[in-house]
Structure formats: structure tokens, C-alpha cells
Chains A and B, each alone.
Chain A
């Protein structure tokens, strides 16, 4: 009988055998004339938490946003290269961005609940995608999503109150529940804890850990400790380039690249 930690360890060791959920090949991003990403080749493994780290402005958030084409909403932004989800090229004209985003959800840096009730916040995604039809179905999806986000017990008595009235950490978990409610395959998290206090951060990290069983997760984080705590794979970005991608353990103990080592040691960042 292995301990839970040992199982984890065993899983992590087998990381190289986990299939790729998303594959980024020669991904470059331009904002007008300015180039923000340089031919990044990075693959995201299924049911794995992949952490993107690096100093500010290194392109990690930019890369994250290419994964569900949130860059489309920015004027003058152009993406080259190829990104696939399963076998589909997500930048192919035949791929629909709405469908893509229903499969690749996103949680943002600052909690951004809609100015609606908690219930409506979670029901929003299923409602627009027509995933639930009856009141009972909605009730169920709201409850399970909130449960998955570990928020249900805290808010079950005030589902009709505005989501903006929750605390920062609760708001962020509400946003995660909102993303989960659409049942995406991949969840992108853009520094989800940067606006939260340590206790709320711990709760969200724990949640990420649990979500891994059902979702592929890509998380951008500022904090190397957080990357070490929540992820199995880590990718290090610097000045728009992917410096190194490796198992998290290896990355933080014995990185291949000198720059990674310097960053982890706090020589720059």
C-alpha cells in the first residue's frame, strides 16, 4: 500500500508517458510591430498542471492567452505557428472560437465575477452554451460546480446574493466554479492568486490540486513556490523565449539551463 505522496511521486515519474493535450509549435505573437513571443514550442500534457514561470513581461501570459485565443480580443495582435488541441489546429479557420473557449476555459488574474447573483454567475456558461435546460439541471450544475470549486458550503445559503459581495478568495473560487461549470477540457489560469491573501491562496492551490483529476490545467504564476507546490511540469519563459520545460521536481532541483537556475536562485526576476 503506497502512501498518497508515493502515488503522486510515481505519477510524476511517469510524466514523460502522459499524452499531450495541447501542442504549441513555433508559436510567435506580435502586438502590431512588436514581437512578444519567439517560436515557442511547448506541449501541455493531459490531466497535468503545467506552470508557466518567468520574470514579468517574459511572454508567459501571452502564451497562455494564445491557448484559447483570448488574444483575438486585442487589437493588432497576430499569432503565427500552430497550436493543436487534441488533433485540432485551434487557429484553423474551421475551428470556432466560441467552441474552443467552451473546451478551454480561463480564470483571470483579478477575480471578475459578473455583477449578478452567485447562482447566475455559475449558471452563465451552461446557459449560453445550452448545456442545461431545466431548473433542476441548472441547480445540479451550479451545485456540483460550486462543490468542485470548494465553495458550495460557504455560499449555499446565499446563492441569490451578488457574487461581487464575496471576499476576494471566494470570488476567485467562484470564477473557477464558473469555468468548471462549462466542463471544459483545459482550464487556463492567469496568476489566479496574485490578488489574494495567503490563506485564500492556499485554498485555491488545494483546489487546483483536486481539479487536476478531471481537467488539464495551465497556470501562469509569479511565485516559484507556488509553481513548485501545484504543478507537475514547469516551463520557464524569458524575453519571449521558452528557456526550458521540464518536470517540476527537476526544474527546481537541477535545471538544464543556466538562466533557469539563475532565476530560481533569485539572481533576476
Chain B
């Protein structure tokens, strides 16, 4: 019985249980609703939960546990010769056994017999059925595969029987509990509450997942490359290490990537902060409601545009524009028509990222500025200050902590931004001061190391997780600090 069919049957049993529970509670009350502690629907739900939940749990456990059990028994049944060659070989053999097993079920009896007495070639027979084997099959694999198939079939049957039994038993147990004074609603609500708790724990699980997965993969990386070389290395060149030319020393240096990341983020912030902040000030302090209600959403459109679009914009418009203008400028100044800004450069990526960040700065700051109490504005205006004096000398100082928080949040976004830099910053990992040349970032390298064919054992792949955890820690610190400041700021004026 397939898993989905089994699930369908469980749901069906659940439905039946619901109506049975309802009917029973109605029968018990003799049609007098008021005698029931809980509405009939709750009795129905109670029975349905008992019928479905334990069965579903058993099903889930079985689905996870049985492959593990079958694998381990098949593994232990492999010939000693294979087992003695180490874990990797055993894993490979197990994989082959599984594909053989997948092929065997497609064979008819005569072909199977031919295989068993060795008169037919395993690989060719299976290939004819559309199952490709990675290597020549060994004779022992046929036996192992048959064992595997047998165990799987048996496990499926047993699982179906057990699950269905649990479902029916749960339903029957629950139905017997029903009486007029039975507090079905409380039981049902307890289950609902539990599911609410489970849902909210997913947020925690996500964080744990992020940290655990990255720590473990990064740990494997650090067993190959020392952390000191990674964190303090100034050369990023993973490919030479792959060729095995004299170890990996200094080839996985984080610093050029981190330098590029921070440099581009800095350019972006230099571009976005004045524009965003002035826009926010104008909108909060000067703009008429009409201007505000059109300009604000329009600016926020910039925040809703996917970053890949910005990347494309940088690639086809901003980059070439900067390159051409630098050619003209150089020509006018020195007579030498040679561009000094590359199409892919820190400047290109920074400016485009800056455009993307404008709405973040402006709407975050706008929120902060409008939270400054009106009394302070009036106090300053009442003394004869102009609006700009009020903004500069009273409102901005009062809003400063909140604005700093907002800017840190924006900075964290700039550091973690990927698509714009992938398309506009370039791939050259180097450390330099000129913003006119390409540099690369942590996120670009994560993408580069993880696209294409992956092998989860090489440092070239695993380094991405070390980069990832670096990025995560940086943004985490920025976010937590920023959120803390903003929260404190809000409380001050609440």
C-alpha cells in the first residue's frame, strides 16, 4: 500500500470518526444540547483526532526509521571483503544494491532466474529495462538486493497493518470516552494549543537549523583548512588547492572577500543614506499630505523590485554608463580616451545597491522621525526656530538612536545582498582602494562555490558554509544590536 493511499485511508477514518463521535454525543444527550458539556462538533473532532493523530505519528516514525533499519541490516549482510574496505566503499556498494533492487522488480521470473544462475549479465539485463548501473554489478548484489526488496515489502505491509490498527483503535477508544459530561472541547483545544506551539517553534528550529547546518559543514571545512588561514588569509584562490599543488595554505583567505563586501556596502550606504534621510525628513516635516501619499508609496516601489532586476539594471545600464562617462571624462581631461571605471566595479555595485537601499533608509527613518513627539517640535518652533533648525537641532538629535538603528539594519541588508553584486561587482578577489575596479564579496563567492556540480567533501564546496556562517554572524550582530536600539527608542517615546 503506498504512503499516499495510506494517508488517504487515515483521513477517511478520521472523517468517519468525526461523524461517529458527533452522533454518539447526540445520542448520549438524547437530543438535548444543553446537557452536553461540549458541542457535538467538539466530540466529533475529539474522536477524529484520536483516530488520525497517533496513526499519523506512527506512520511518520515508521517512514523515517524503517529505511535506516533496512539499510543497516543490508549493510551488515554485505560480504566481509566489501566491509573491510571502509565506509565509503560500503556506502557505494549499498547504493548499487539499491539500484539493482530497483531494477529487479521490473524483471520477469525467467530473467531473474537467468541472473541468479549467472547466465545473464546483470548490468546489461538491467540496462535493457532502463536502469543504469554506475559500475559492473557483483554477484553478491543480487542476493543483497533481493533481501532488500523482501524487507521493504514486509516493512510496508507491517506498516500499513500497524497504522490502520492504531487509527481504528484510537477512534474506538475515543468513542468509548464520550459521555454528556465529557469535556471534549477542552481536550480538542489542548491539541490545538499544542499545534500552535509546534508552529511557533518552527522559527526556533529554523535558526537552529541554520546554525547547526552551517557549523557542521564549516567544521568539516576547518578540519581541512585551518581557521587562521581562513580568517586572516589575504589570498582567495580556491582552485589551486583543488589541483593539490602543495596544500591549501593561504588560498582560502576571507579578507579580500570581506574587504569587498564592506567596501561595496560602504559605497552603497554613502549613496543611500543622504538621499534616504533627506527624503524621509522632507516627507515627515515638510511634505503636504498629498505629496506624502504619492511620493512615499512610489519610493517604496523601489523596495519591492526584486534584487535580480537591480542586478540586471547594473549590468546593462549603470555599468556601461559609468564606463562610457569615464572614457569621455578621461578623454576631455587628458586626451586619452581610455575608461578608468570598469563596467563591473565597486562603484557600479555600490550605486545600484544604494538605489535599492534608499527606500529602506527613508521608510525606516520616516517611522523614527514621526515618532518624535509633537511637543518637541512645537517647543522649538515656539521659540522662533525655523523648521530646518528644528529638524537639525532638536528632531534629529532626539531621533538619533533610532536612526542609527535603522541605518545598521540597512547596513546588514547591504552586507547580505547577493544578486546585485553577483552581476555587478565582478569575481576578482583582491584588496584595493580604488572603487573603479571590480572587487568581489562573500555572497558572490558563496554562489560561485555552490553552483555547478557539488561534492560535499571538497574544501571548495565546504568553504561556502564557512563564508555563510561569517556572513550570518556579521548580520546577526548588526540586526540584534539595531533591533535593540530601535526597541529602546520606541519605548522612550511610548
Contact = CB atoms under 8 A, between A and B. Distances in A.
A108 B382 contact: yes
Given A73-B377, A75-B289, A108-B375, A115 B383 contact: no
Contacts of B116: none
Contact of A73 (B373, B381, B393): B381
B381 A70 contact: yes
B384 A182 contact: yes
B125 interface: no
A21 B478 CA distance: 57
Contact of B382 (A68, A75, A110): A68
How many interface residues does chain A have, given as a range? 20 to 34
Interface string B377-408: 11111111110010001100110000000000
A33 interface: no
Interface of A: 68, 70, 73, 75, 98-103, 105-108, 110, 112-116, 124-125, 127-129, 175, 178-179, 182, 188
A112 B373 contact: yes
Chain B binding surface, main DSSP class: helix
Contact of B384 (A102, A110, A116): A102
A127 B380 CA distance: 12
Given A108-B379, A128-B389, A178-B379, 12 more contacts: A101-B382, A106-B383, A114-B376, A114-B379, A114-B394, A116-B397, A124-B385, A125-B383, A128-B385, A128-B386, A179-B382, A182-B383
Contacts of B378: 70, 73, 106, 108, 112
Q: Which 10 A-B pairs have the closest CB atoms?
A: A106-B382, A101-B384, A102-B384, A112-B375, A112-B379, A125-B383, A115-B398, A128-B385, A128-B389, A98-B384
A243 B486 CA distance: 49
Given A75-B289, A108-B375, A124-B393, A114 B380 contact: yes
A114 B373 CA distance: 10
A131 to B, nearest CB: 11
A101 B381 contact: yes
B58 to A, nearest CB: 62
A105 B376 contact: no
A101 B383 contact: yes
Given A98-B385, A106-B382, A108-B378, A115 B373 contact: no
19 contacts: A70-B382, A73-B377, A73-B381, A98-B384, A98-B385, A98-B386, A100-B384, A101-B381, A101-B382, A102-B383, A108-B375, A108-B378, A114-B380, A114-B394, A115-B397, A124-B383, A125-B384, A128-B383, A179-B383
B379 A175 contact: yes
Contacts of A116: 397
A33 to B, nearest CB: 16
